[in-house]
Structure 1
């Protein structure tokens, strides 16, 4: 295929479509439409998909863990690559009937009926798929002229529905591959979907919301039933505790008997002393249940037991109970309760970061800093990465200075750029930081063991070449001496690139000699090259 992809009926007439059969290897493509009448009027998404699939097949495209995990442990197996080479693609425009593609000689009401049935069958299509790809290159919507990218894809109600169907499936492998460009793909960060409720998605047709919400409820209920029957127990407890938050339902504080029954503990003593990854304390935190936290504390539960065994859900080993509360967007009262019950407000994970760094709301910042947590300027990096401008503003009220990088590897303008692809409010946050005198030309200066990792990555690239190394290696090699503009170019964020240039960003190279223009080109963000070339020094 080349140019705009043809619709379902045209491909069906040409005999190019295949009906699903048992054993078929299916690659499900979830994407955001680029116009109201056609999903890809210039074939731009299709071209990225073609190149990305070719890269997966020949091994030149490394699919690594998300940028938060910073791990090289995951990649596509050679067996999966072989299956992709022989696989079948599900892409809604040519896989199901489309009401926007009129078919000569076919009753329009029949087409609408078939399209409606196909949309209702999306959970089945997802369930039967072997690989799930979120196709999210940064492009411009033809009608609205707005940017379409990973953050906007995450906001769309139907995209969330497809995503939830995948992640709440009972399949063994529910991973999601996010394709940003022909040369960059990663497995989705687990918290990205947990922070984007299906209930609050954006819908072109508002009446779709009720159907999608019902779909989400069914998916969660099915997941819990499966985990209750087959385990693992810690996943069952996690999803049960987090269900009200996922579905935006009212929280209900449980009586002890109900708590023990729901989370499968025999006694309060067992729940309090349990040291598994989903202990009684963790169940109470993810449930937002302050009453049960007090009850467990009376049974001598440890409010400082570090997390473990939940990395696949986005909660990493050695992180604290307060971090569990912030990252899961609990009410500030949960943080205050934990501190009252002697949780260490300044406890740090193995990364050296405290809970205030991981604040997701202004209430989190206030609850921590008014209850013994120490002020740290680097906390702005965390809130700029994962929260919104209101949370950053709350830190600024406590006199956190965005101009002070201190001993950290980079400043808040670096951070907001590096994690901007999943944060729809990144530009607002960056604007706020610039208004408070954050330095747009400060450079990253990693040190210690991380600097050694950067040098090792740089050596690897010099031997193998930039394109043959995965994104984690590219990122580490690029970090020493990189500017916020360099990070914006590296991840391909057009609005941030423009914002930094408008505020005096200078296009200078990092320590490896890469200009922002080079970083954009090497990562296939070609839409930024004219803009960066104009401002090159």
Structure 2
């Protein structure tokens, strides 16, 4: 691992960082103050990825730094829990007490501190300097990500001072440099490549795997367009790296997705090429393979319809249930047809699977079908034209992750943007609001649903097993206190009776909150008695309080 000599003294002690106040000082000032430290074997490093809030300074008002400081204090003392993402909704993963102690004694890599700084990043401004700095940054990012033990994406919802646009998790995911840092982390040689998303001083979670799989470096947003080619090469190097522990453990998965991840044209392979590429000895062995990442999944994720047909001819089952791929976002009990939709395959792949007897209406253990996981207009058309049913929760699933154009196609098939309380689900507006932080198209989707008469004041009504889950969560929050429970528990405890506005307030999405109020959202409480204003306050989204208080009943 090589790091340029003048970049080597680049870490700041967490303890020193927590004593800072106001806008962060740059590298040269901290160097003069003796606050930068050289990396040494055994040093515990926290890599901080974030968006700049102006062209000339990453955090002119110190707001991001303040969130990071409070979050670190919470992580260290245990008051801030880091849990599984709200899609997985599991308590299986958390930060250990040892990790929290290491963080307290650790060192931060933060670009403004750690890099002799980059001036304004604008086309035509300081061309020679920025080109030189960009080259150094490209050299340093993989090195410091590789050295890091913890990776934090700090993404509070704030306003960019130059553009006045909101900056948040969705926009962080869209930025090319942030994607480069993310990919270097996920495809590094570390045994644990987890990414912790810090939404606010009091809320954080492990990243949902599909969030990074659907965001290639190549089509990320760059302030300086010339950076695109340079940074895209980072992705190629990371994916091609033979030292990556992720690639070693999940070789077939990444081999199948490689063209998609790098935005490369898929090359047709014959049977021998497929077997060699995915390390199978024969077509028969491949067809009968029952491992987690079996040959059918290899063919699906690589979009190989020729091999799908050949595998079926040799006894492969197109209704195989997935297992062992949950860490990659493909959950046990889902089908290969669902994997094709979630990985955004061409409609021809779905059509081939259905032709080969894949059950278009098979359900996962959560009751969702492939149609609910559709990601493109082509997916919707193929599934519906081949007999897919459209139960009440389908539109909620599609609205959560797909683009507005996909939602529009589903609506054109008379799939109403309402929900059936008897099914135990919430409506599509609930789904959009709950998962809005990672969806840069959430506002467009919500506007589309509202234009089709979605009920902005619909109340969620859990039934059956979901009702028991909600009751258990209510008991847990009553015993431990709402603020002391993780986000998953708080979500279930708040579910009964919650409105779309309640969810928007709970996750702190200002634009959705304004949109719902514009369309007549009322400040109805949920069954726990929490109004949207209460939910915003309980989850520390204080920027929403004046807005919600104005409309309180």
In structure 2, C-alpha distance between the alignment counterparts of 1:32 and 1:324, rounded to whole Å? 32
How far does the alpha carbon of each residue in 1:507-526 deviate from its partner, in whole angstroms, 9 at most, with x for none? 11111011111111111111
Deviation at 1:226, TM superposition (A): 5.9
User: TM-score, structure 1 length as denominator?
Assistant: 0.96
Contact 2:380 2:406 in 1 (8 A): yes
In structure 1, C-alpha distance between the alignment counterparts of 2:336 and 2:378, rounded to whole Å? 17
In the other structure, the counterpart of 1:19 is 38
**Pick aligned residue for 1:309 from 294, 318, 324:** 324
How far does the alpha carbon of each residue in 1:321-371 deviate from its partner, in whole angstroms, 9 at most, with x for none? 110000001001000000000000001111111000000000000010001
In structure 2, C-alpha distance between the alignment counterparts of 1:475 and 1:70, rounded to whole Å? 9
In structure 1, C-alpha distance between the alignment counterparts of 2:545 and 2:468, rounded to whole Å? 31
In structure 2, C-alpha distance between the alignment counterparts of 1:435 and 1:227, rounded to whole Å? 44
In structure 1, C-alpha distance between the alignment counterparts of 2:418 and 2:391, rounded to whole Å? 13
What RMSD over aligned residues (CA atoms) do the two structures have, in Å? 1.6
Alignment pair present for 1:238 and 2:238: no
In the other structure, the counterpart of 1:410 is 426
Contact 1:97 1:115 in 2 (8 A): no
Contact 2:197 2:206 in 1 (8 A): yes
**Secondary structure at 2:198 match in 1:** strand
In structure 2, C-alpha distance between the alignment counterparts of 1:374 and 1:32, rounded to whole Å? 42
**Secondary structure at 2:218 match in 1:** helix
**Pick aligned residue for 1:453 from 459, 466, 469:** 469
In the other structure, the counterpart of 2:29 is 10
In the other structure, the counterpart of 2:543 is 527
In the other structure, the counterpart of 1:123 is 142
Contact 1:96 1:115 in 2 (8 A): no
How far does the alpha carbon of each residue in 1:81-123 deviate from its partner, in whole angstroms, 9 at most, with x for none? 000000101111111111329xxxxx99789746742442111
Deviation at 1:403, TM superposition (A): 2.5
How far does the alpha carbon of each residue in 1:356-392 deviate from its partner, in whole angstroms, 9 at most, with x for none? 0000000000010001211223211011100111010
**Secondary structure at 1:437 match in 2:** coil
Change (3 A) 1:365 1:2: same
**Secondary structure at 2:528 match in 1:** coil
In the other structure, the counterpart of 1:142 is 161
Change (3 A) 1:327 1:128: same
Alignment pair present for 1:279 and 2:294: yes
Contact 2:419 2:426 in 1 (8 A): no
Alignment pair present for 1:82 and 2:98: no
Alignment pair present for 1:28 and 2:47: yes
Alignment pair present for 1:517 and 2:533: yes
**Secondary structure at 2:400 match in 1:** helix
How far does the alpha carbon of each residue in 1:284-304 deviate from its partner, in whole angstroms, 9 at most, with x for none? 000000011011111111000
Contact 2:393 2:425 in 1 (8 A): no
Contact 2:286 2:295 in 1 (8 A): yes
**Secondary structure at 2:535 match in 1:** helix
How far does the alpha carbon of each residue in 1:394-438 deviate from its partner, in whole angstroms, 9 at most, with x for none? 100110000233514200000000000010000000000000000
Alignment pair present for 1:497 and 2:516: no
In structure 2, C-alpha distance between the alignment counterparts of 1:416 and 1:70, rounded to whole Å? 17
Deviation at 1:456, TM superposition (A): 1.1
Q: Between Structure 1 and Structure 2, how many residues are aligned?
A: 528
In the other structure, the counterpart of 2:212 is 193
Query: Structure 1: 5+ residue runs without aligned partners?
Result: 102-106
User: TM-score, structure 2 length as denominator?
Assistant: 0.93
In the other structure, the counterpart of 2:407 is 392
Deviation at 1:224, TM superposition (A): 7.8
In the other structure, the counterpart of 2:350 is 335
**Pick aligned residue for 1:51 from 63, 67, 70:** 70
In the other structure, the counterpart of 1:437 is 453
In the other structure, the counterpart of 1:485 is 501
In the other structure, the counterpart of 2:59 is 40
Contact 2:45 2:150 in 1 (8 A): yes
Deviation at 1:177, TM superposition (A): 0.2
**Secondary structure at 1:200 match in 2:** coil
**Secondary structure at 1:199 match in 2:** coil
Change (3 A) 1:112 1:13: farther
In structure 1, C-alpha distance between the alignment counterparts of 2:136 and 2:229, rounded to whole Å? 16
In structure 1, C-alpha distance between the alignment counterparts of 2:71 and 2:354, rounded to whole Å? 47
Contact 2:473 2:492 in 1 (8 A): yes
In structure 2, C-alpha distance between the alignment counterparts of 1:111 and 1:156, rounded to whole Å? 18
Deviation at 1:21, TM superposition (A): 1.1
In the other structure, the counterpart of 2:9 is none
How far does the alpha carbon of each residue in 1:263-296 deviate from its partner, in whole angstroms, 9 at most, with x for none? 1111111100111111111100000000110111
**Secondary structure at 2:468 match in 1:** helix
**Pick aligned residue for 2:231 from 183, 191, 212:** 212
Query: Structure 2: 5+ residue runs without aligned partners?
Result: 1-19, 121-125
In structure 2, C-alpha distance between the alignment counterparts of 1:173 and 1:382, rounded to whole Å? 30
Contact 2:373 2:397 in 1 (8 A): yes
In structure 1, C-alpha distance between the alignment counterparts of 2:37 and 2:50, rounded to whole Å? 21
Contact 1:402 1:412 in 2 (8 A): yes
Alignment pair present for 1:369 and 2:384: yes
**Secondary structure at 2:477 match in 1:** helix
Change (3 A) 1:113 1:256: closer
How far does the alpha carbon of each residue in 1:162-211 deviate from its partner, in whole angstroms, 9 at most, with x for none? 00000011210100000001111000000000001111100000000001
Deviation at 1:311, TM superposition (A): 0.5
Deviation at 1:503, TM superposition (A): 0.1
In the other structure, the counterpart of 1:104 is none
Deviation at 1:160, TM superposition (A): 0.1
In structure 1, C-alpha distance between the alignment counterparts of 2:77 and 2:107, rounded to whole Å? 17
Alignment pair present for 1:296 and 2:311: yes
